[in-house]
Amino acid sequence: MRCRIWNRHWQWSRKCSKNWRISHLSEPVYQRIRIAEAGSYDGRQVEIAGWLYNLRKSGKICFPQVRDGSGILQCVAVKSALPEELFESLKHLTQESSLIIRGKLRAEPRAPGGFELDVEDATVVQRVSEEHPYPITPKDHGIEFLMDHRHLWLRSRRQHAVLSIRHEVIRAVRDYFDTHGFTLVDTPIFTPAACEGTTTLFGVNYFDDEKVFLTQSGQLYNEATVMAFGKVYTFGPTFRAEKSKTRRHLTEFWMVEPEMAYATLDDVKRVAEEMICFCVDRVLANRREELSVLERDLTKLQAIQPPFPRISYDEAVLALQKKGSEIQWGGDLGGADETLLSEDYDRPVMVDRYPTAIKAFYFEPAPDRPEVALGVDILAPEGYGEIIGGGQRIHDLDLLLQRLEEHHLPREAFDWYVDLRRFGSVPHAGFGMGIERFVTWMCGIDHLREAIAFPRMLYRTRP
């Protein structure tokens, strides 16, 4: 397999340019490895394939730093040990040129990462030209420039770390639900109507003048699938056409939404707490390197242990008023209120039983106090705001019909949803967690846009 790849490169190189291959060796004796595995190959002859991250040079020695997506490895090319042509071409390599380097790997305390490759041979796959040098230099850049070059910015260490942590979070979320009896049942992206009727939706033309909308939640569909499977979750993209221009909003983001039959608000709180701790532990266990690149304060993440504080909306309003907030009972918590509230705790805080009037139509009212709903928001510490919203759904047919009417929602659009209350309706509950908000919090970064590869925001849909 390795030889076939090698031969293909070799033939391609001869076709492309006579300068393309600068090797002076003919036998492929080097084992291709990824930089992350360097520790297992001390003293061996290896080959790494990647891109030039940075280059420092003296007169007769140069240090190309190569990244291959798994890590960064410093190489050493010494003039006296290499053919003139090879040394000169390495010395004049441009940033982000793609190349394959072969040589002997060894432990080296002076090198970042602890390992270093003594260059014996190299192949430049594509040289970045001086006329169009790589735009992202190792110096400061403004956010506009970086966002315009997002397709290249992803290669930098910090962005690589953030997206690696995102991957870890997503894997942990799925592992958690997969090992706790939940079935993944994805819900449609095209939906015929508003899930809640209030928020703004992106409309799409769907053949012959029919109008459909991009989903803003899979929850209503989850309420159908959960009656088939008992415990389900949806994981997918979500679209909100809100003209929000803040560091906490994207127009396209990813959300995980579990739903449980025969479950109540307390079950939601228990499962959410357990899942959050599971994900934080995974990130801490598997992504130390990335957290360190991001200079994340680990003690802040290590403090995320059960039990999380649980307070009611009533208590939250009183606490906020004491801290100087203008909030009145009946109003929603603003961004500033969320920060103010969470600064009292070193772990996520659960706020439940919001006024029914400010919650969506499907929330079950508290049996003893119908003016509050059995919903809960979970606010991340350090001012990261709401990461989870959820609660118990109405399971009574008559109450649901009454709510639809009160919210002026079209009965026809909700026929199937209402049907669920006719055939073995049971108390059920669930929640939704925004992946980017969770990742932003894990990484300790200050903007949601870095927690997804290609963010979609108000006024920004490129690249």
Partner RNA sequence: UCCUCAGUAGCUCAAUGGUAGAGCAUUCGGCUGUUAACCGAAGGGUUGUAGGUUCGAGUCCUACCUGAGGAGCCA
Please count the helices (runs of H) and the strands (runs of E) in the chain.
14, 19
Minimum CB separation of residue 297 from RNA in Å reads 20
| Pairwise CA distance, residues 183 & 189, whole Å | 19
Is residue 137 within the footprint of RNA (CB under 7 A)? yes
Minimum CB separation of residue 430 from RNA in Å reads 9
Please, which residue, 112 or 285, has the CB nearer to RNA?
112
Is residue 151 within the footprint of RNA (CB under 7 A)? no
Please, which residue, 423 or 459, has the CB nearer to RNA?
459
Other Cβ atoms closer than 10 A to 176: 21
**According to CB under 7 A, which one of 11, 244, 292, 402 is a site residue for RNA?**
244
HSE toward the beta carbon, residue 26, CA cutoff 13 A: 0
**According to CB under 7 A, which one of 69, 138, 188, 203 is a site residue for RNA?**
138
Rounded to a whole number of angstroms, the distance between the first and last alpha carbons of the chain is 35
237: closest CA among 218, 212, 259, 258? Answer: 218
* 347, two tokens: 């772990």
Is residue 143 within the footprint of RNA (CB under 7 A)? yes
Please list the residues that pair with 98 across neighbouring strands: 51, 126
Is residue 407 within the footprint of RNA (CB under 7 A)? no
**Size, binding site for RNA by CB under 7 A:** 67
Minimum CB separation of residue 434 from RNA in Å reads 7
- Helix (H) or strand (E) holding 116, with range, is strand 115-126
> For residue 21, what are the contacts with CB-CB under 8 A and spacing of at least 6?
10, 13, 14, 123
x/- track of binding to RNA for residues 91-120 (CB under 7 A): -x-xx------------x-xxx---x----
Please, which residue, 74 or 342, has the CB nearer to RNA?
74
Is residue 395 within the footprint of RNA (CB under 7 A)? no
DSSP string, 351-374: EE--BGGGS-TTBPEETTEEEEES
- Helix (H) or strand (E) holding 386, with range, is strand 385-393
**Coil, strand or helix: which one is 125?**
strand
Phi first, then psi: give them for residue 456, nearest 5 degrees.
-110, 115
Is residue 188 within the footprint of RNA (CB under 7 A)? no
Q: Taking a C-beta distance cutoff of 8 angstroms, is the pair 236, 254 a contact?
A: yes
**According to CB under 7 A, which one of 2, 14, 56, 323 is a site residue for RNA?**
56
**According to CB under 7 A, which one of 27, 84, 130, 398 is a site residue for RNA?**
130
**According to CB under 7 A, which one of 4, 15, 18, 245 is a site residue for RNA?**
245
Is residue 139 within the footprint of RNA (CB under 7 A)? yes
Q: Taking a C-beta distance cutoff of 8 angstroms, is the pair 355, 371 a contact?
A: yes
Is residue 83 within the footprint of RNA (CB under 7 A)? no
> For residue 320, what are the contacts with CB-CB under 8 A and spacing of at least 6?
327, 333, 337, 340, 341
**Part of the chain binding RNA (CB under 7 A), chosen from 2-10, 17-25, 298-306, 329-337:** 329-337
Please list the residues that pair with 428 across neighbouring strands: 261, 393
x/- track of binding to RNA for residues 263-302 (CB under 7 A): ----------------------------------------
**Part of the chain binding RNA (CB under 7 A), chosen from 18-26, 59-67, 266-274, 396-404:** 59-67
Is residue 195 within the footprint of RNA (CB under 7 A)? yes
**Part of the chain binding RNA (CB under 7 A), chosen from 31-39, 166-174, 213-221, 267-275:** 213-221
Is residue 140 within the footprint of RNA (CB under 7 A)? yes
Q: Taking a C-beta distance cutoff of 8 angstroms, is the pair 305, 347 a contact?
A: yes
Is residue 144 within the footprint of RNA (CB under 7 A)? yes
Minimum CB separation of residue 185 from RNA in Å reads 14
| Pairwise CA distance, residues 167 & 145, whole Å | 25
List of residues contacting RNA (CB under 7 A)? 54, 56-61, 63, 74, 76, 78-80, 92, 94-95, 108, 110-112, 116, 130, 133, 135, 137-145, 147, 195-196, 198-200, 216-219, 238, 240, 242-249, 255, 257, 332, 334-336, 360, 377, 389, 432, 447, 457, 459-460
